[in-house]
Amino acid sequence: MQTNKIFSNIRVVLVGTTHPGNIGASARAMKNMGLNNLFLVNPKEFPAPRATWRAANAADILDNAIVVETIDQAIEGCSLVIGTSARDRRIPWPTLDARDCGNRVVNEARSHKVAILFGREDRGLSNEELQKCTYHMNIPTDSEYSSLNLAMAVQLLCYEIRMAFLENSKDNLTWDQPLATADQLESFYDHLFSTLVTLKFYDPENPKQLITRLKRLFSRVRLDQMEVSILRGLLSSIERNLKR
């Protein structure tokens, strides 16, 4: 029963998948480890016979897959969003390895919805997409051959989630308020940046890295819903005083 409660809060999100066989193989990998919530963001070809064939006995995962147009739709309501990334970024982001990722996902899924994003086969997730994530997750492959198949990456992380659950990690996150969801954070960011423009602190024509660094700051802090409400109240007060 506890397994169902935790795993039902975990979403595997495949972004812009080109080959339907990878969708089917990912579904099979998920079912092997007890996960069943598959979200597909703008797949090139789905549904498709090749996906069903590769899924084997996990066709029910495909039948119940949710297809959306944007990442924002896929992560709506999630308090923890993890993006897989194989590249170093210009501005470092809080990063987990697969094992740490599995532990954190299980601990947070006890009380919050969690999304794990897997990018396109040829180029992964864009910088803008990765900025929507609380953490980045990197699988440290050998430098001689770093290419990792999409379904293999899904299988590896689903395995770590399963192992973390079986080990019954006690590092459970407890807090007096629910953590802010991805959509609540995006609304807060929109409010923040519009206020900074009004204050003439932020110039959209010359953004440099201000937005990225502020998003990284708040991702690291892990705002809860009350904190977001307080900050938005502060921004509204600033806007009212500016109008006077």
Tens of pLDDT, residue by residue, the chain (244 residues)? 456 789 999 999 999 999 999 999 999 999 999 999 999 999 999 999 999 999 999 999 999 999 999 999 999 999 999 999 876 666 788 999 999 999 999 999 999 999 999 999 998 999 999 999 999 998 888 888 877 899 999 999 999 999 999 986 455 556 789 999 999 999 999 999 999 999 999 999 988 899 999 999 999 999 999 999 999 999 999 999 999 8
Q: What is the 3-state secondary structure (H, E, C) of the chain?
A: CHHHHHHCCEEEEEECCCCHHHHHHHHHHHHHCCCCEEEEECCCCCCCHHHHHHHHHHHHHHHCCEEECCHHHHHCCCCEEEEECCCCCCCCCCEECHHHHHHHHHHHHCCCCEEEEECECCCECCHHHHCCCCEEECCCCCCCCCCCCHHHHHHHHHHHHHHHHHCCCCCCCCCCCCECCHHHHHHHHHHHHHHHHHCCCCCCCCCCCHHHHHHHHHHHHCCEHHHHHHHHHHHHHHHHHHHC
Ranges of CATH 3.40.1280.10 domains, the chain = 2-166
| Per-residue pLDDT, 174 | 66
pTM of the model: 0.84
Residues of the chain with CATH 1.10.8.590: 182-243
Residue 1: the pLDDT is: 40
Amino acid at 40: L
Domain 182-243, CATH: 1.10.8.590
CATH topology of domain 2-166: Alpha/beta knot (3.40.1280)
